[in-house]
Amino acid sequence: MSCTKETPINITEFKSEILAFPEVENPVDTPREWKCPNLHVESDYAFGGFTSGESNVTTFWEADSAYTSQVNWKMESPCLLESKLAVGPDIDLEPATTFENFHTYELFLNGADREENALQFVKRMYILGLTMDKGYRVNHKRIERLYYDVMGLRA
């Protein structure tokens, strides 16, 4: 985001990514714990934990009020993935400056097989490492092409 105005812009909050999913399960009432899609999400703004799940502070599963055909009668199904900060950043963007937020990386997992999912994750980290080790600015199209090459898939 660039500030093209002559006065500073105050950025109180932002959502860097919003993905909508159908429900994984269809409970009519609210369950104790919701199931989420088979997806690994992390950002380069992760900190404060020993695993990616503990240190992920930017991934939030929210209810989608626009998704009116869900089975849950209270419309509480967490089917909207939002990548954002819990608080802030509350910064002033000065004229002619740029704000760059964190990046979010998603990996759709094939199934419940732990070994297969781990291999997918390792391949993804290898691809991200290839792009960052060489001092490249992260080019998401390049990462996507590398991912398809390494996984042996067609784009």
The 10s digit of each residue's pLDDT in 68-93 is 888 888 899 999 999 999 998 999 98
Q: Are 127 and 120 in contact (CB under 8 A)?
A: no
152 pLDDT tier (thresholds 50, 70, 90)? low
Chain centroid, CA 90 distance in Å: 21
- CB burial class (10 A; 0-12, 13-18, 19+) of residue 50? exposed
What ranges do the domains of the chain cover?
Answer: 1-108, 111-155
Q: How far apart are CA 46 and CA 6, in angstroms?
A: 34
The 10s digit of each residue's pLDDT in 90-122 is 999 888 888 888 888 888 888 778 778 777 877
pLDDT score at 3: 67
- Torsional sign, CA 90, 47, 143, 41: negative
